[in-house]
Structure formats: structure tokens, C-alpha cells
Amino acid sequence: MIEDSFGRVHDYLRISLTDNCNLRCFYCMPEEDYDFAPSSALMQPDEILKIATLFVEQGVRKIRLTGGEPLVRKDAASIIRSLATLPVQLTMTTNGARLHEFRQVIVESGIRSINISLDTLQESRFLFITRRNIFRQVMQNIDLMLQMQLHVKINVVVMKGLNDHEITDFIAWTKDRPVHVRFIEFMPFSGNKWTGNQVFTWQEILTIAQEKFDFIPLEGKANDTAKSYQVKDSQGTFSVISTMSAPFCSTCNRMRLTADGKLKNCLFSKGETDLLSALRAGSDITPLILDTISKKEKALGGQLKTDYTHLESDKIENRSMITIGG
């Protein structure tokens, strides 16, 4: 069992397969021309399986593959298939652009739920945010996943003045389609030019929703990060991940393994533990895993100790979001 000093049991591992991506969303990547890690610095397929197996032996029950964009990695299919042999719930977070190429892999690997990042329902704004003209392909792949009867979650990073006026459009989408929209408060990471006045909070989102929809709160599950709601007679749901305005750290069960094999015990942690180098040196990395999680801070990596409106993002010590893994 992997437990921290506050009694939180960690049974959910997020594995980043690459820091590369085929989109260029400004809130995730520091700049358009980005130096990605060389292949030799990344965990190789056999190393990913070895490390994941050790986590499973310590009680991990769920593994989520992330990026960058996990499906741009050339050996993504073989990695997915190998991890599907472990006794875990396997899922992934993707931008959706290449899902049609992985349809068979998804079926063979028993993936039943998938998160797709989509910050707008407008094609022109999609191009502005991502700097790539593939909106229609993403929407087609969302439809494909629904046709395959997967549980589809749509991750929407909400930012004031950019896409907050689309909140009701996303909620309306859940009425006729079984999509589960998750509004995410904008979070600070290295290079993403975060400021507190860009954050559109959980309560602000609900206020907007109440102007147009009659909805009810849904009962949460253990370790939920999202507060969920459903509009009357809707096929889908909508949720808010309120990291900035109402953190949910007290029930956190998540660990993050970066593409270069570093273990982070929190999305906002300053430090990280190099599991990959230790593994390649022939060391037993299980003690490193247990020690890293035991030192987890009580909340938000110990860095976001003040009200977010007074937070100075340039003083946060962390990676860019794309190198951590979504």
C-alpha cells in the first residue's frame, strides 16, 4: 500500500508517455518552438511496464496514460497493449486528434472510459487556442468514441475572456449526447502566463449555468476531483474541477510519473524522484516510490498556500504542464 503521512492511500497512477504534442495550446506549452525530450531520455516500453508493475504490486488499481499527447508516441499502441495485461482500470487523456487510428487498440485493451481535451465548440476559436486546424477531426473522433459506447469525458479549461461564454453551450451539449463535460479552473504552471484574474471559478460557472438550466448535484465517489451535476432529462453530465477556488486535496489518491521517469507526488510539487535512472542502474525503486509519497504535502504541493487571487505564479517552482502530464 502506498500511503502518505496524512493517511491518504494512493492507488491511481498517471503515466505520461511523452512531452510531445500535435497541438500548441498556449496554457500548456510555453511556446510554439519547444525543445522536446530526446527519445533516449524517455521511459522505454519495457521500462514503463516494469515500473507500472511495481506500482500495481503496491496497490495501484487505476492507470491513466497522458502526454503531452500520448497517441503521438510511435510505440503508443504496444505500450497500451502491454499495460492492458495488468489488473488495473486502464484509461487515457488525449486531445482526440488521432483516436480513429487507435480504435482497435482501444477495443483490444479493454479501455472503457476516455478523457478528451476540448476547450471550445467553435472551430475558429479552436484554431486560435491550439494553433492547429483539426477541429472537425476531433469532433468526429468524439462521435466515434460515443459510437463505441465509451464513457467520454470532455475536459474544458475555462478562462475569463476566452471561452467562459461557451459554458452554456457545453452544458447544452450534454442534453442530447452522453458526454460528461468537466470544466477545469485555469491553473498556474511554468511558462503559461497564468494570472488570478483569468480564473473562472466553480461558483461562477454554477451561476452561469443556473441562468439557463435546471440541474441537480450528483452524489460523488471517493477520491473525486470533480463536483458533478446533471440537467433534467439530459443524457450526459457536467462537472467542475475547482483546484484553485475549492481544492480537494484531502482525498487525493493520485501520483504522476513523467515521461522521463520522474515521480511527482502532487501536480504542484517542487520536487520529483528519478525512478528511471535508479531502475536503469539496477536499483530497487519500490523504496523510492514509498518514500516520495510519504513526503507528500498536505495540499497543493505546499506551494499554493494563499488565496489564488494573491498568488504570484512566477514564484511557483514546477515544470510546464506538458512535461508533467495532464
In a domain, 168, yes or no: yes
Mean pLDDT of 131-139: 95
- Dihedral sign for Cα atoms in the order 104, 123, 119, 325: positive
Q: Is 6 inside any structural domain?
A: no
The overall average pLDDT reported for the chain is: 91
Query: Which of 262, 326, 319, 247 has the alpha carbon at shortest distance from 292?
Result: 262
In a domain, 175, yes or no: yes
What integer is the mean pLDDT of 176-202? 82
CB 20 within 8 A of CB 72: yes
Residue 138 belongs to some domain of the structure: yes
Angle at CA of residue 183, ends 182 and 187, nearest 5°: 120
**Considering the domain boundaries, does residue 111 fall inside one?**
yes
Q: What is the DSSP string of 201-233?
A: -HHHHHHHHHTT--EEE----TT--SEEEEETT
Distance of CA 223 to the CA centre of its chain: 15
Contact 60, 9 (CB under 8 A): no
Written as one string, the DSSP assignment of 150-206 is -EEEEEEEEBTTTTGGGHHHHHHHHHHS-EEEEEEE----TTS---GGGB--HHHHH
Domain coverage including residue 157: 12-324
Highest mean pLDDT among 33-37, 120-124, 265-269, 311-315: 120-124
pLDDT in tens, 50-88: 999 999 999 999 999 999 899 999 999 999 999 999 999
Alpha helices in the chain (DSSP H): 45-57, 76-83, 103-108, 123-130, 135-147, 167-176, 202-210, 275-280, 286-294, 321-324
Q: Give per-residue pLDDT as tens, 83-117.
A: 999 999 999 999 999 999 999 999 999 999 999 99
Alpha carbon distance 4, 19 (integer Å): 27
Q: What is the DSSP letter of 302?
A: G
Number of domains in the chain: 1
pLDDT of res. 309: 72
Q: Tell me the pTM.
A: 0.92
Q: What is the CATH number of the domain that holds 89?
A: 3.20.20.70
Q: Could you tell me if residue 42 is inside a domain?
A: yes
pLDDT tens-digit profile of 34-48? Answer: 667 788 889 999 999
Q: What number of residues does the chain have?
A: 326
C-alpha 96/C-alpha 242 separation (Å) is 24
In a domain, 4, yes or no: no
Alpha-carbon distance of 64 to 89, in angstroms, equals 8
Cβ atoms of 174 and 237 within 8 Å: the answer is yes
Q: Is a pLDDT exceeding 70 seen at residue 33? A: no
Phi, psi of 63, rounded to the nearest 5 degrees: -125, 130
- The three grid cell numbers given for residue 271, joined into one nine-digit string: 520536487
**For range 2-12, the mean pLDDT:** 97
Nearest alpha carbon to residue 194 among 314, 21, 326, 323: 314
Lowest mean pLDDT among 4-13, 29-38, 119-128, 139-148: 29-38
φ, ψ of residue 268 to 5 degrees: the values are -105, 15
Grid cell at residue 227: 463536483
In the chain, how many H helices and how many E strands?
Answer: 10, 12
312 is a domain residue: yes
